[in-house]
Amino acid sequence: MALMEEEKETAMVTPGEVLGRISEIKPGRGAYAATHNDTVYASLTGFRRNIPPAIDSSDQRPIVEVTGHKAHGPVPQPGSIVIARVTKVMARSASAHIVCVGTKSVREIFNGIIRQQDVRATEIDKVDMHLSFRPGDIVRALVVSLGDARAYFLSTAKNELGVVSAESIAGATMVPVSWTEMQCPLTGQIEQRKVAKMAS
C-alpha cells in the first residue's frame, strides 16, 4: 500500500523534461544541470523524487532524482563516451541507438543524433554524412547534450571518436586504412567513413 501512495506523490518524467532551477534544486541520479540557462533536466524516463538536504549541509537545496521504472542501468550524461549503432543517415545528421555508456551496456533505449557540424573538428562545411557513416556502423561518440526530449546530441569531432566497426557491402568486418577510409578484406574495396583512431 505504501508503494502506491509513494507513486502518487512522485511524478513520471521523461528525458529533457525541466525539473527546476539550479538555484532551487541540485541534480542527483537521472538528472543533470545545464549551466547555460541554469536549469535542471531529467536524463531518463522514470519517477521524480526530491531528497531533502542533510540538516548540517551548507547547501540547503533538495536533491532531485529520477529513478528509472526499469532496473537501473547506466544513463548517458553530457560528457559521457558512448558506443552507438547508426540506424539512419540523412543529409545533415545521422541517427543512432546508444548501446553502451563507457563500458556498461544500457538497459533502455536511448536515441542519439550526430549532426553534420559534430562529425569532425575541421572543414565542417565539407562533411558529407553519407561518406562518414552508414546504417549498422558502430561508432564511439561523446554526448554533447540532451538535444531535445527524444535524442542526445552526439559528437565524433575528436581523433579517437568515430566509426570503430563497420561491415562492408560484401558483409565482412572492414579494416581502417586511414582517417577517412576502411577496406573490405574480402573484396579489397575501399569505403569512406569518419574513422576513430585506434588506441595504440
Contact 145, 153 (CB under 8 A): yes
Closest CA to 48 of 19, 78, 84: 19
Q: How would you classify the pairing of strands 175-176 and 138-146?
A: unpaired
Average pLDDT over residues 156-178: 93
Give the integer Cα–Cα distance in Å for 198 and 196. Answer: 6
Whether residue 128 has pLDDT greater than 60? yes
Domains of the chain: 2-68 (2.40.50.100), 81-192 (2.40.50.140)
Terminal CA-CA length for the chain: 57
Give the integer Cα–Cα distance in Å for 9 and 103. Answer: 35
Confidence of residue 199 (pLDDT cuts 50, 70, 90): low
Give the integer Cα–Cα distance in Å for 157 and 87. Answer: 19
Mean of pLDDT over the chain: 86
Weakest mean pLDDT among 46-55, 93-102, 126-135:
46-55
Closest CA to 190 of 177, 199, 171, 179: 177
Closest CA to 189 of 166, 162, 164, 168: 168
Closest CA to 182 of 123, 125, 153, 139: 139
At 69 the pLDDT is 59
List pLDDT tens digits, range 53-83: 888 888 888 989 887 655 567 888 889 999 9
List pLDDT tens digits, range 29-40: 888 888 788 899
Predicted structure pTM score = 0.66
DSSP annotation of 35:
T
How distant, in Å, are the alpha carbons of 10, 50, 64, 153 from that of 3? 11, 16, 19, 35
At 1 the pLDDT is 38
Whether residue 7 has pLDDT greater than 80? no
CA–centroid distance for 74 within its chain: 11
How distant, in Å, are the alpha carbons of 170, 171, 177 from that of 185? 9, 10, 11
The Cα angle at residue 146 between residues 141 and 152, in degrees rounded to 5 = 45
